[in-house]
Chains A and B, each alone.
Chain A
Amino acid sequence: GIQVEQSPPDLILQEGANSTLRCNFSDSVNNLQWFHQNPWGQLINLFYIPSGTKQNGRLSATTVATERYSLLYISSSQTTDSGVYFCAVSPGGSQGNLIFGKGTKLSVKP
């Protein structure tokens, strides 16, 4: 089956720093989503981005489907950005179920 690899697994930043999180996937996909898991364990939708580039405030994402990777950019990080960031994809030919990566755990220090 499709493999979803996220890097780095852990990231520590000072408040105000920028960061890039990466998601590599091993096959074609029909859906790609980025989530932020908050301290209460809830999965918050960040981007639905099977291809192209989107921006939402300090966050932006780019998916290059032909090269099988997606990037999540966080600029001017804040302590509230801390948590785990997940990338999830729906493989081509699937029924839409998402395959999750293991996540990147981000800690933003004040």
Chain B
Amino acid sequence: EAGVTQFPSHSVIEKGQTVTLRCDPISGHDNLYWYRRVMGKEIKFLLHFVKESKQDESGMPNNRFLAERTGGTYSTLKVQPAELEDSGVYFCASSPISGLAGGRYNEQFFGPGTRLTVL
């Protein structure tokens, strides 16, 4: 079974440009999460999809970030326009069943991340 995949692995752009990150979750996983780690800080939650619906986007830093999940499959995260402070590693994770199962949320599996550098 293929794991979570992310594209590109690295992206270097200039301030003011647009970048789109892609995440393909594990097949059949309803839940898709985006996280990021900016330099020197801990990994932080950005948003959560259940199938194609945004369940929680409380972690999105501002309206320069737009996430979509077409048809409940892959997801994209667009940053427009990019700023210097957006540099970091963006992780995607997926888990199988939405909601609580037996009182517990399911295990999340992470992709390799996209390292974004804004110059």
Contacts and interface: CB of A to CB of B under 8 A. Distances in A.
B42 A45 contact: no
A62 interface: no
B100 interface: yes
B108 A42 contact: no
Contacts of A97: 33, 45, 48, 56, 59
B43 interface: yes
A40 B91 CA distance: 13
B113 A41 contact: yes
Interface of A: 30-31, 33, 35, 40-43, 45, 48, 50, 86, 88, 90, 94-103
B71 interface: no
Nearest to A44: B110
Contact of B105 (A41, A96, A101, A103): A96
B45 A99 contact: yes
Contact of B104 (A50, A86, A88, A101): A50
A43 B91 contact: yes
